[in-house]
Amino acid sequence: MRVLKYELTYHHDSALLFERIKDQPWAMLLDSGQLINDATGKAGSQYGRYDILVAEPFITIVTTGQKTTISQQGAEKVSDADPFCLINQILQQYPVAKTQHPFAGGALGYFAYDLGRRIETLPNIAAATNIPELMLGFYDWAVVVDHREKRSVLVSHGLTEPTKVNWPALCAKFNNPAAPTSDSTPFSVLSEIQSNLSKSAYYQVFNKVKNYIVAGDCYQVNLAQRFVAKVQGDSWQAYKKLREISPAPFMAYMNLPLNNSQSIQVLSNSPERFLQTDGYHVETRPIKGTRPRSSDPAQDLAYSNELLNSLKDRAENVMIVDLLRNDIGKNCVVGSIKANQLFQLQSFANVHHLVSSVTGKLNKTATAVDLLKGCFPGGSITGAPKLRAMQIIEELEPHKRGLYCGAIGYIGFDRKMDTNIAIRTAVVYENELSFFAGGGIVADSVAEKEYKETLDKASNLKALLEYYLIQ
C-alpha cells in the first residue's frame, strides 16, 4: 500500500497549522513544547521533536461507565465489552507497514484515570466529574512536524476512500498556514479559583494517608486537590497562552464533541511520558521528586541540588520505578526490563523534577494496547501498592479524577505508541475549567511541604487563569 505524503512549509510554531482545523470536532494537537520568544519572534527552547495534528476521524469510540459507543460512517454501535479489547480489534483491522514518521494513522485521544475501573474493582465514593472515561478517534491522516529536520508533512496510509478523494483539498488546506480570521469569543475567566480541599482539609486527609502507611496498608499514596474556575470563550486562546507560560514535552490540545451537543476541550501541559513503543522497544519515564523554580539563579540552583541529594525523593522514585518494572513486565520478555537511568534532573518553567527511565522488550504476542492496559493508570501518580493506593484515593479525594492522571497520546496502526501522564492538564466543560495537582505521600512526608508542592505544581495553570481573570 502506497503511503500518501505531501510536504508542507515548515513553521517552528505548529499552532499556525493547527488553527486551520482547531474548531473541527475531534481536532487534536500533540505538542512537543516548542517555545517562541514573543519579543523576537524566533524559536526559543524546545523539549521534543515532533508535533502531530489530526482531525476528521473515520471511527470514534467513547466510553462512559460500562458502555462504549463506536461511531463509523454515521452508524453507532454500543458495546459493553472491554474498551481495550475494542481498541485492539479496530487497530488490527488496518495492518500497515511502519513509516519513518511517529504517526501516520491510528488511534489518538485520551484515556481517563477512571477508565481504571474497567481493570480494577474500586469503591464509588467521590463525586463524579461527568466526562467520558475514554475518547479516541481513529485517523487516516495526520500532519507531522519534525522540529529536528525542520520539515512538515501531511501523511496517510490511504485506508479510506474519503481520504484519497479529498487529498488535494487537504493538501491545499495546510499548504498556506497563514492564521485565518476568527470570530471566536475571547477567552476569559469569570471567577476566582476554588479548591475542593482547604488547607486544613488537606492536612486532615494527609494525616489519614499517613495513618494508612503506619498501619502497613501502603507505602505511598498520590494525594491531589482539584481547582476550578468559571470561564467562557475560545479555549484555544488559553492553550496558546499556556504554551508561552510553560512549555512542556508532552503537551496537547483537544476539541472533543459530546452527544448532547456539548463539547469539552483538553489543555495538557504534561512533562511526563507514560509509555512509548516503537516496534518491540518499550520505554516509560516516571517522575517522582519535585522542587520549585526560583527567579534567583543561586536559589534555583540550591533547589535543584537539594532535590538531587534528597534521600526521601530518591526513595519515592525507586518505589515507583519498581512498580513500573512490574507493570511493564506483564507484557514484556522476561529479563528484558532495565532501569537505564535513575534520578535525572529535568527542569521546567515552574518546577524541577527527578525523572527515571525504564525500558523493556514487548512480547511478540502482546500489542501496545495490551501494554497500556497492563500499566494503567500509571503508577507514578497512584502510589504503591497501586490497587490499595487507588482505593485510598477514591476514599479521601472529594472528586473523581476524570482525565487527571490518565493518559493522552496515540497508538498507530503500525504498533507505535506514545502517551503522556495527564498531569498539569485542564478540562473545559460546561463553562468550567478544572485541573488537579498532587504529590506522593510517604512515611516521612511533612504536611506543610506536601501541600506547598501541590501549589507549586498548580502554579502555571493558576497563572493562566489569573491572566484571563476579569476583575
* Angle formed by the axes of helices 368-375 and 83-92, nearest 10°: 170
How far apart are alpha carbons 361 and 338 in whole angstroms?
A: 10
Residue that the C-alpha cell 490497587 belongs to: 387
How far apart are alpha carbons 83 and 133 in whole angstroms?
A: 10
Residue 121, judged by CB atoms within 10 A of its CB (0-12, 13-18, 19+), counts as exposed
How far apart are alpha carbons 390 and 220 in whole angstroms?
A: 11
Q: Residues 144, 412: contact at Cβ < 8 Å?
A: no
Decide if 173 is catalytic: no
Residue 65: name the closest of 85, 80, 84, 87 by CA.
80
Q: Residues 356, 317: contact at Cβ < 8 Å?
A: yes
What are the C-alpha distances in Å from 439 to residues 82, 187, 345, 349? 30, 30, 17, 18
Q: Residues 399, 127: contact at Cβ < 8 Å?
A: yes
Other C-beta atoms closer than 10 Å to the C-beta of 430 total: 10
How far apart are alpha carbons 223 and 381 in whole angstroms?
A: 9
Which DSSP category does 246 fall into? -
* Angle formed by the axes of helices 199-214 and 386-396, nearest 10°: 150
Beta pairing partners, 409: 109, 419
From 288, 386, 400, 457, the catalytic residue: 288
Residue 188 in grid coordinates: 476569559
Helix (H, G, I), strand (E, B) or coil at 302: helix
Helix (H, G, I), strand (E, B) or coil at 196: coil
Residue 80 in grid coordinates: 459493553
Decide if 7 is catalytic: no
How far apart are alpha carbons 185 and 204 in whole angstroms?
A: 41
CA atoms within 13 A on the CB side of 129: 30
How far apart are alpha carbons 412 and 96 in whole angstroms?
A: 9
Look at strands 151-156 and 383-384 and give their pairing. Answer: unpaired
- Virtual CA dihedral for 85, 87, 88, 94, nearest 10 degrees? 150
Q: How far apart are the first and last CA of the chain?
A: 58
Residue that the C-alpha cell 494525616 belongs to: 207
Catalytic residues: 272, 288
